[in-house]
Structure formats: structure tokens, C-alpha cells
A and B are shown apart, each in its own frame.
Chain A
Amino acid sequence: MTAYDLCFAIVGLLSAASGLLAVTTKHLTHAALWLVVCLGSLAGCYLVLGAELVALVQVLVYVGAVVVLVLFAMMVTRAPIGRSTEHDTSLTQRAAAVVVAASTAVLVGAVLVSLFSGPARRIDVAGTHALATELFGTWVWPFELLSLLLLIAVVTALALTRLRSEAPEDDR
């Protein structure tokens, strides 16, 4: 067991534990803050695996922008301090969630183990240039499709707000 394995185990455990806390905590805003820890330790996983740029972009996009947006939305709507039970789900829903999560985990785990069960190899080419070549060469079409999807989402969101504001406003 090398130091890399140990580091990876630590950040992996941290990520799994904070992910669990994020979905089980009764404090609404704490869930978002545990999500920060979870995404941050996931960036740690990438870092241990040698994908430095991916790790930094993970922190930049998810911790710096997405979670800030989530916190903003919670502050605008409702973010009570202390435990809140009004958004709790029923027991059946929780059981269904556990079943779905467990089966997804087993499925992904089985696929990964069957694909990569051979002896571990160290790949030392995960530099920024190699990543850029892959992303804008091999994977350029999925990449562009994703940006098109995001563009459609933005335009749709704008259209929805515009449509709503055209409705008569003095019916309150």
C-alpha cells in the first residue's frame, strides 16, 4: 500500500461520509455546506489520481459557483437556522431511495470492477495539454452537444420568466 493509496482512501472516505451527511442532515443549509465538503474531497480524489486541472476546475465550478448559487437560492427562499422537518419525505420514499441508490452503486461498481479488474497501471500523461487534446479532439462532439444543451436550458429559463411576467400582474 503506497502513500497514494492511503491518501486516496482518506479523501474517498471523506467524500462518501460528507455525501451521506449531506442527504441525512436535518439542517437545510448544513446539507449545502456538507455538499461543499463532498465536492471538495472529490477534487482531492482527482488530485491524488494525478488529474490536477480536473481537480482545480471541480473546485472552481462546483464549490465556487454551483454551491454559491444553491446557497443563494436557499437564502432567497427559506433557510431556517436549526432543524426543520417540513421538507421531510415519507418512509416509503426513503426506502425507495435507498433501494435505487444501492442498486445504482452495485451496477456501477460491477461495471467498473469487470472493466478494470486487471493489475493497476500508473498513467503519468494526465497533463493539461493531454487533457485538452482529448477534450477538443476525440471528445469534441459530445463536448459541443453538452454546451448546446446548456444553451437550450438558459434560453428556456429566460423564456419561462418572460412568459410569466407577460401574464396580468394585478390579480393579487
Chain B
Amino acid sequence: MTVTEVVLRCLIVLVGFLVLPLLIGQTEHKLMAHMQGRLGPMYAGGFHGWAQLVADGVKFVQKEDVVPSAADKPVFRFAPALALASYLMALAVVPLGPVTWGANVPGSLVWVLAVGGIGTLGTLMAGWSSGNKYSLLGGLRAAAQLISYELPLILSCASFAMAAGSLSLVAIGHAWTPWWLIWQLPGALVFLVAATAELQRPPFDMPVADSELVFGPYTEYTGLRFAFFLLAEYAGIVVMSLLLAVLWLGGWTGPFDHQIGVLWTLLKGFGIALVILWMRMSWPRLREDQLQRIAWLWLVPLALLQIAITAAGVVLMSR
């Protein structure tokens, strides 16, 4: 790989990282509005308010960047960057097609899970360093949630890796067959629920529960740093949706996949993202104990069952 190619791939990943989350955000605005019998943003940019999030970004840039005097300043300033950068690194290894990826590493599945875990550290740092009791409580809830949901997430990913016999996302995409849609269904459901909880999206948004904790770990943030946290949340939706699309829906596999394989991956990922958005509009927030109960009593046993099913399938098919 030449230097030009590396630079080009990095640039494309960066552009995708900045555009796709905005697309998801605008879709959420419009979808939520129409499901609730409203129109949503209609003015910014003219056509159906397509530039609303750009306008929001401009507004965030203009706001004053406030650091509370009780805060631990270096940690407070650094936390949003950590949250954002981790999803950028995760997006770099998610393949859109057999040759369309930012970086192709042999253990890319483990890479996505590992750097995704670093991003959650940014939330904890924000919660602790703000010097605010609501932030601290939000950080605590976030930590408890991450510890419980990291396990089913990793277990369900392990099932896909076992089925494909590889830890590389490109190899998993190549090993995919339509049979996986049923064979790996429990694992995919566990992944979807655990990923939603990992991203702290409703109905798993206890850490930022606005009626209890103001805005959880992000309460004290203003301006661009606050926007970074929001961008990280939507970038997380993009990463998790594309990841599930590659793992469970076969990524670029589909009619005419030699010509439009990348479009298939994006379309499947967008469909999963729609489901994640839809969950927010349909269900109220869970209680903290209900959240822990779901993780340990339902998701972990289900993921372990899926691993047993996968192992049996792999052994039977290799005969």
C-alpha cells in the first residue's frame, strides 16, 4: 500500500465519520417528528430542513466554552476528545466492501470492541471531572451499565467469529451465508440490545436520564465539547449498525454485489440504525435495577446459549 493510498483511505474514513452521524441525526429528527404527528425541522437549508444539524453545529461553535471552577480541568477538557476519537478508530476498520475499508487488520473485530471500550472511558472521565453531583451519579450509572453490557456484547461477537473461523471483519463478511440469518439470530438480538445499552440510547439512557440527572455526565459541558459528545453518540450508532450489518446481514452480499456491494452494506447498516432510533421513540426508559436484570439474567445466558449453538453447528458442518 502506497503512502497516497493510506492518506486517501484516512481522508475517506474522516469524511464518512463527519457525514454519516449527521445523516443519522437528521433521520432521527424527521422520523421522530413524523411518528409523533409533527413535521420536525423545516426551515434550515430550505428543502425539509436538511441543514438543521449544520445550523446546530454553527450554533455550538459560537457558544462560550465554560469550564466549571470546581472541575478537574485537564481531564474535563480531554474527555470529549477521547469519546470521539475512539469511534473514529473503530470506524476505520469496519469494512463496507471486500476492498473498501480504512484499515484491514487481522483482528479487526477485537479492535472495534477494544477501542469502543476506550470511548466509554471518556464518559466516566467527564462524569468524575465535572465536580457536579449529577455528573458523578451519571458517571456511576454509565460505569455500572458498561460493565454489565460489555460481556454480552463480546460474547455475541465471539459467536460470529466462531461461525466464520476468523477475527477479521472482512473474512467474516466473506464467510457469511444466508443460513446465518436464523443460525445467528439470538446472537444478533443480544448484540442489538447490548449495543443500544453500550451507546446509552433510550430505553437504556439511565446515565443521562434528563428527568433525574439533568444530563448525567454531560451536564457541565457547553459549546463544541458538548457537541463532540453528541457526535460521538451518533458515530457510535453508525459503528454499531455497520458492524451488525457486516456480522449478521452479510455486509456487501446481495444482488449485483460486484458493482454496488458498498451500497448494500450502507443500506443494511442504515436499516439497523433505523431500528435503534425506533426503539427510542417506542419505549420509556428502564429503571436501573431492570437494566442490570436484563443484562445478567437474559442477555448473558442467551449469548452463552448462542455460543453453544454456534459451536455445535461448526463441529457438525466441519464433519
Contact = CB atoms under 8 A, between A and B. Distances in A.
Interface of A: 27, 29-30, 33, 36, 52-53, 56-57, 59-60, 63-65, 67-69, 71-72, 75-76, 79, 81-82, 127-128
Given A68-B147, A72-B144, A81-B72, A128 B106 contact: yes
B147 A53 contact: no
Contacts of A79: 128, 136
Contacts of B70: 81
Contacts of A81: 70-72, 128-129, 131
A75 B147 contact: no
Contact of B150 (A64, A71, A76, A127): A64
A127 B166 CA distance: 12
Most buried by B among A52, A68, A69: A68
B120 A64 contact: yes
B281 interface: no
B120 A53 contact: no
B209 interface: no
Contact of A68 (B111, B121, B136, B154): B121
Nearest to B139: A75
Given A128-B106, A128-B167, A75 B128 contact: yes
B147 A63 contact: no
A72 B129 contact: no
Most buried by B among A29, A64, A76: A64
13 contacts: A33-B125, A52-B106, A56-B110, A59-B117, A60-B110, A63-B117, A69-B147, A72-B124, A72-B140, A75-B124, A75-B143, A127-B106, A128-B106
B118 A33 contact: no
Contacts of B224: none
Given A53-B107, A72-B140, A81-B70, A64 B167 contact: no
Interface residues of B, number: 33
A68 B146 contact: yes
Interface of B: 70-72, 75, 105-107, 110-111, 113-118, 120-121, 124-125, 127-129, 131, 136, 139-140, 143-144, 146-147, 150, 154, 167
Residues of B contacting A: mostly: helix
Contacts of A128: 106-107, 167
B128 A56 contact: no
Residues of A contacting B: mostly: helix
B128 A71 contact: yes
Contacts of A36: 121
A53 B167 contact: yes
A61 to B, nearest CB: 9
Contacts of A33: 75, 125
A65 B125 contact: no
What 10 A-B pairs are tightest by C-beta distance, nearest first? Answer: A64-B117, A72-B143, A59-B114, A60-B114, A56-B110, A81-B72, A56-B114, A75-B140, A71-B124, A56-B107
B117 to A, nearest CB: 3
Contact of A60 (B72, B136, B154): B154
A33 B121 CA distance: 9
Nearest to A72: B143
A94 B282 CA distance: 57
A52 B111 CA distance: 10
A76 B75 CA distance: 19
Most buried by A among B106, B116, B117: B117
Nearest to B75: A33
Contacts of A71: 121, 124, 128, 143
A63 B120 CA distance: 10
Given A29-B128, A75-B143, A82-B72, A67 B121 contact: yes
Contacts of B127: 75
Nearest to B113: A60
Contacts of A57: 110, 114
